[in-house]
Amino acid sequence: MRKIRNFRAIKINPTRFGWGQVPFLLMVLPVAAFMMMPLLYIFNHAFKPFDELIEYPPRFFVRRPTLDNLFELFETATTTGIPVTRYLFNSILITVVVVLLSIFLATITGYALSKLKFHIKGVISHINTLAMMFVGTAVIIPRYIIIEQLGLIDNFMVHIIPVIAIPVGLFLVKQFIDQIPNELIDAAKIDGASSIMIYWKIILPLIKPAIATIAILSFQMIWNDAGISATYVNTDSLKTFAFYMQTLSASSNVVAGAGMSAVASLIMFLPNLIIFIFLQSKVMSTMVNSGIK
């Protein structure tokens, strides 16, 4: 029993260095360096001057870094006269709203399915499990019909309402909340706490890793998505920066717009990298506690 307890106490990522880690570092560091090469290339490519962008054979590292590509991107308007900052503002606003609503919807629904008792509890769980079986491409036609019936075509809310429910996120949150002892909930009820108070004071603080996972999933889904703007939105001022990225090469000369494309790719990539660096440990904890091996 002592061996089992000691084994469970071992952390996946040790906080202190030990000589026993040296063989693993010798294997991992070369692989990590190789995997870092695309990241370094994206950063170097964004700050290359025009002559280095079209240079052949291409060089990996930039020799004369410049910010001209960044200035050119934000000073250039599209063929419709809409500045790039408008697309970027739309993407930031939509992403923030979707992430917050996704976290709220997944956590409060997961709490209800895990700890509360009501008649259609099992039905909702089965519907959510069934929803995870379908990818977005498989339901694009019925989704379009529903969105049209709701009057969301060419509406800013079409970026938000159809994507705030994440079946995988709800599944992970429910599995995480299942680990919370029922005795803790019962003790709070005896002390007079309401369901909303239990959700706010007990459930949310204990499921921070699951919340971080939902934040990453919803962020990457909406920040990198250009399909909604291309399918449901006709007004250019309502479209997102991801959509502008897709049309950047088509709306300008491919060679002349190489610098703008490079720095726009960096802008799209950088938030994904930052949010994953800060929240990746929480994601690993969620996967372990959700029973996913």
28 in a domain, yes or no?
A: no
Q: Percent of the chain beyond pLDDT 70?
A: 85
How far lies 42's CA from each of 1, 78, 169, 222, in Å? 50, 24, 30, 21
In a domain, 112, yes or no: yes
Range of the domain at 211: 74-289
- pLDDT of 100 higher than 90: yes
Q: What is the mean pLDDT of residues 266-285?
A: 78
Asked, for residue 60, whether it belongs to a domain, the answer is: no
Inside any domain, residue 234: yes
In a domain, 23, yes or no: no
Burial level of 230, CB count in 10 A (0-12/13-18/19+)?
Answer: middle
Residue 5 forms part of a structural domain? no
- Residue 254 within any structural domain of the chain: yes
Alpha-helix runs per DSSP H in the chain: 2-9, 22-46, 50-53, 68-75, 84-115, 121-131, 140-149, 167-177, 182-190, 195-198, 204-206, 208-223, 227-232, 241-251, 258-289
| Helix (H/G/I), strand (E/B), else coil: 195 | helix
pLDDT tens, position by position, 13-46 = 566 766 777 787 788 888 888 888 888 888 888 8
Distance CA 244, CA 258 (A): 14
On whether residue 21 sits in a domain, the answer given is no
User: Domain holding 220: CATH number?
Assistant: 1.10.3720.10
| DSSP SS3 for 212 | helix
Indicate the number of domains in the chain. Answer: 1
Instruction: Provide mean pLDDT across the span 196-204.
Output: 91
Mean pLDDT, residues 148-171 taken together: 91
pTM: 0.79
How confident is the prediction for the chain on average, in pLDDT?
A: 82
